A = this chain, B = another copy of it.
Amino acid sequence: MKSINSLIKEINELESQLDQKDFLLTWEQTPAELERVLKTAKVLKTMRAENIATNVFNNGLGISLFRDNSTRTRFSYASAINMLGLAQQDLDEGKSQIAHGETVRETANMISFCADAIGIRDDMYLGAGNAYMREVGEALDDGVKEGVLPSRPALINLQCDIDHPTQSMADLAWLEEHFGDLKELKGKKIAMTWAYSPSYGKPLSVPQGIIGLMTRFGMDVTLAHPEGYDLIPEVVEEAKKNAVASGGSFTQVDTMAEAFEGADIVYPKSWAPYQVMGKRTELLRANDEAGLKSLEQECLAQNAKHKDWHCTEEMMKKTKKGEALYMHCLPADITGVSCKEGEVEEAVFEKYRIATYKEASWKPYIIASMILNRKYANPGTILQQLLDDDKKRVK
């Protein structure tokens, strides 16, 4: 990996407005801003490997709000704020008085008097998650403007209905590590494909995040899914525009086989059809238990028609030299391991298991990087300071 010094030098040279906006969608950020986040994450990861303390806060809270289950993202966020010196405080809406009709605006201020970061996962409601985050962000801006809050906490999108930026950026960091340089990604073919899973209602944010981000770097991005498993149309349009702008391409095909053909990277993963997520949102809002149950049955039956969307060794043979890099946000539904029939064959997953772990290992550093880039006009200065202090993380 590049030396910390040269990375800091590169960070200092990148233009960025990330200290003035929340990083809620990757396609709202400039290429330079994306690179800043990647390089800052790289420095943080290298510093940890070299036992250099990265605490920039002597105290402060890093608040988390999870509106969906999570292990990886929860631990990644906890790791990120911890490496910066913040303490986690979870806002559990079950326990809290929010359940009693408290407004978002008020809550956002009440929890933030001593907060430096707020991470939110809200991916259940189509059309609501990202909107909720922006509402929180505005409340925080207002709180600072009105003199209620001493400082503006960094708002981190830990997965919404539209994008999963900490995941896609971690994926990108892994690709950069794997292929040696971002420039190497130019012209590489990545196949983001649907895959069969016995579960249902998986968010669209991962595939959307991938096509929305990978099209920024001149990659040939191919999306494939069975009929009816569409993504949010606006995001698909975003991907098309990105591909044109970056000199890459965005293609949609109808089978996993076509998508895998000659691919350098494959990302086979299950998700729920956009339309189903829409219905589900209405039913969740209406607390229609019966409706949700029947929608689930309906959707599982629909999934079952597409068990051939299976990442097998046969399928992998179609990829470039049969050696494409397999990616997954984890946990994968592994046939014969975590389920009877799933997204990927055990032999394929096993071959790339360690690779997927390394892919995941970037997330804590990406989140910490996003916080630093939100708090500091130039995190390079701070990273240099940490380097000069040379305080050990572990005695």
Q: Spell out A's residues near B (CB within 8 Å).
A: 48-49, 53-61, 63, 66, 69-72, 74-76, 78-79, 82-85, 87-89, 91, 95-103, 106-107, 109-111, 113-116, 143, 146-151, 199, 330-331, 333, 337-339, 353-354, 357-358, 360-361, 363-364, 375, 382, 385-386, 391-395
Known: A106-B357, A382-B395. A79 touches B113 (CB 8 A): yes
Q: Would you give 13 A-B contacts (Cβ < 8 Å), ordered by A?
A: A56-B394, A58-B392, A71-B98, A71-B110, A71-B111, A72-B110, A78-B87, A78-B89, A100-B338, A101-B333, A103-B337, A148-B354, A386-B395
Known: A53-B59, A56-B394, A88-B87. A110 touches B75 (CB 8 A): yes
Chain B contacts for A393, CB-based, 8 A: 57-60
Chain B contacts for A85, CB-based, 8 A: 59
Chain B contacts for A113, CB-based, 8 A: 75-76, 79, 360-361, 363-364
Min CB distance, A103 to chain B, in Å? 7
Min CB distance, A175 to chain B, in Å? 17
Residue of B nearest to A375 (CB): B394
* Residue pair A70, B97 in contact (C-beta under 8 Å): yes
Chain B contacts for A56, CB-based, 8 A: 394-395
Interface of A is mostly: mixed
Known: A56-B395, A338-B102, A364-B113. A150 touches B89 (CB 8 A): no
Chain B contacts for A363, CB-based, 8 A: 113
* Residue pair A69, B87 in contact (C-beta under 8 Å): no
Chain B contacts for A360, CB-based, 8 A: 109-110, 113
Known: A55-B59, A78-B61, A382-B395. A70 touches B87 (CB 8 A): no
* Residue pair B394, A357 in contact (C-beta under 8 Å): no
Besides A48-B114, A151-B394, 16 other A-B contacts (C-beta < 8 A) = A49-B150, A53-B58, A54-B59, A57-B394, A60-B394, A71-B96, A71-B97, A71-B102, A71-B111, A72-B97, A74-B95, A75-B113, A101-B333, A106-B331, A146-B354, A148-B354
